[in-house]
Amino acid sequence: MTRPLSILALGAALTASSVAAEGTLTISVYSFAQDAYKKALYDPFEEMCGCELVIETGNSIERMAKIEANAADPVIDMAVISSHDALSLANKGLLQPLDPAKLSSFDKLYPAAQDPLGGNMAVGYTFYASSIVYREDLVSIESWADLLGDGLAGNVSLPNITGTQGPLTLMMLDKAAGGDASDFTGTISAIGEHADDIVTFYSRSSELAQLMNQEEVIAAPVGRFAWSRFKSSPLPFAWADPAEGQAGGMNVMIMTANNGNEELAYKLMDYWLSTEVQTRVAEALIDSPANMEVVVSDEVAENLTYGAELINSLNILDPATIIANRDAWVDQWNTEVIR
């Protein structure tokens, strides 16, 4: 009796996976705020296109590794990712250039978001500021240098060097020490000297939210996109405005090469960039808009990275610099910090 049953089961598994490829779009996104995204974007999109979205989540590195592993026969059709990760995928020839004519909202985007990597390899869909989230009942943060100060020793977490936030933190610590962002060797050494004071190096913003809500950590640098997770907590979290200013970055949309699902992917991208969705996503306090036409209330704006003035004030690290130096940073980090 077992034989027919297991053949049946195997058959079912095989057909299930091949049927799923029809009328479905597989996208790869960051793991935070998935419930909110479902409401603001995924559900309305599925209804509109009559197709099915399959969502893969994870941090950028994990998701990049998967895109690379499956390059010959892409599983992921479209992904949202940091600008430097997008650049590294583009350099490896894993992406296809986008056609702005197929994106009706293209002209409404901030100029910086329209073609951030050159060659139309990506289009920005959100800007974010990065600063320090902290427990205002326990500490006060005036400068990025406070992260390595005695006041936070034993209660601070830093982003891992391999993630997107890691290099931004290096840049701001370097700036606080009087550097000009050209060389982070000294900054990494300084972190190494304080390694025992650092609880852990987090690799996803959701992991940090977890650590801070469990009161393992009372201050850490993080991107503004994760702010809603802290704001909704019963604990008193605040967003620092350090003397050196805030760091910042942009996340972009990309299309994998030869995925064969371009039409649906463009549809989703265009919908995601539309004033309607960008406003909805902004009002849910998830991602700040890259679409200039989005108008939100002051209250909402306060929780986001909103408006040309703020966006222009951010300290941005050039994606090409990150790619050129990351291996050296990781080597030094592994030797001096994770001893």
Partner 1 sequence: MSRLMIWLILGVTLTFLIGPFLIVIFAGMSAGEALAFPPQGLSLKWYAKVFTVESFRASFALSMFLAIFGTLAALLIGIPAAYALNRYDIPGAETIRTIVAAPIIVPGIIVGLALLRYFVVPLNVAITVALFVTHTALVLPYAVRVVSSSLNNLRADMEEAAVILGCTRLQAFTKVVLPNIRGGILAAFILGFVTSFNEVPASLFLSGPGVRTLPIDMLSYMEITFDPSVAALSALLAFMSVAIVFIAERLLGFSRYV
Partner 2 sequence: MFLSRSEGLALALPAALFTFLVFLVPVGILLSVAFQTDTGAWSLQGYVDFFAQPLNQKVFFRTLKLGILVAGTAAVIGYLAAFCIVNLPATSRGRIFGLVVLPLMISPVARTYAWIVILGRTGIVNDVIVGLGLSSTPIRLLFTETAVFIGLLQLFLPLMIISLVSAMENIPRDVVPAARVLGASWFQVFFRIILPLTKEGLVIGGTLVFTGALTAYITPAILGGSKVLMLETLLYQKVNVSNDFVSASVIAMILIVMCFSANLALKRIASVKR
By CB under 8 A, name the binding residues for partner 2.
Answer: 61-62, 64-65, 68, 154, 160, 162, 198-203, 214-216, 330, 334-335, 338-339
- Pairing type for strands 123-135 and 288-289 reads antiparallel
CB 2 to partner 2: min, Å: 13
CB 207 to partner 1: min, Å: 6
Site size toward partner 1 (CB under 8 A) is: 35
**Token pair in block for residue 70:** 């499956």
CB 124 within 8 A of CB 114: yes
Which of 84, 108, 175, 204 touches partner 1 (CB under 8 A)?
204
Nearest alpha-carbon partner for 302 in 228, 191, 244, 197: 228
What does each C-alpha distance from 28 to 149, 256, 334 come to in angstroms? 38, 11, 28
User: Taking CB under 8 A as the rule, does residue 55 contact partner 1?
Assistant: yes
CB 228 to partner 1: min, Å: 12
CB 195 within 8 A of CB 189: no
Angle between helices 165-176 and 185-193 (to 10 degrees): 90
The region of 40-48, 131-139, 202-210, 254-262 touching partner 1 under the rule CB under 8 A is 202-210
Per-residue contact track with partner 1, 205 to 244, x per CB under 8 A?
Answer: -xx-xx--xx-------------------x----------
Burial status of residue 339 (CB atoms within 10 A of its CB: 0-12, 13-18, 19 or more): exposed
Per-residue contact track with partner 1, 75 to 104, x per CB under 8 A?
Answer: xx----------------------------
213 or 303: whose CB is closer to partner 2? Answer: 213
CB 199 within 8 A of CB 157: yes
DSSP, residue by residue, 145-164: GGGGSGGGTTSEEEE-TTSS
Residues from 282 through 301 that contact partner 1 (CB under 8 A)? none
9 or 308: whose CB is closer to partner 1? Answer: 9
CB 198 to partner 2: min, Å: 8
CB 101 to partner 1: min, Å: 29
What does each C-alpha distance from 100 to 81, 332, 333 come to in angstroms? 19, 40, 40
CA atoms in the 13 A half-sphere facing the CB of 308 = 6
297 binds, among partner 1, partner 2, none (CB under 5 to 8 A by kind): none
CB 249 within 8 A of CB 128: yes
233 or 335: whose CB is closer to partner 2? Answer: 335
Q: Write out the residues near partner 1 by the rule CB under 8 A.
A: 2-3, 5-6, 9-10, 13-14, 16-18, 20, 26, 28, 31-32, 34, 54-57, 69-70, 72-73, 75-76, 204, 206-207, 209-210, 213-214, 234
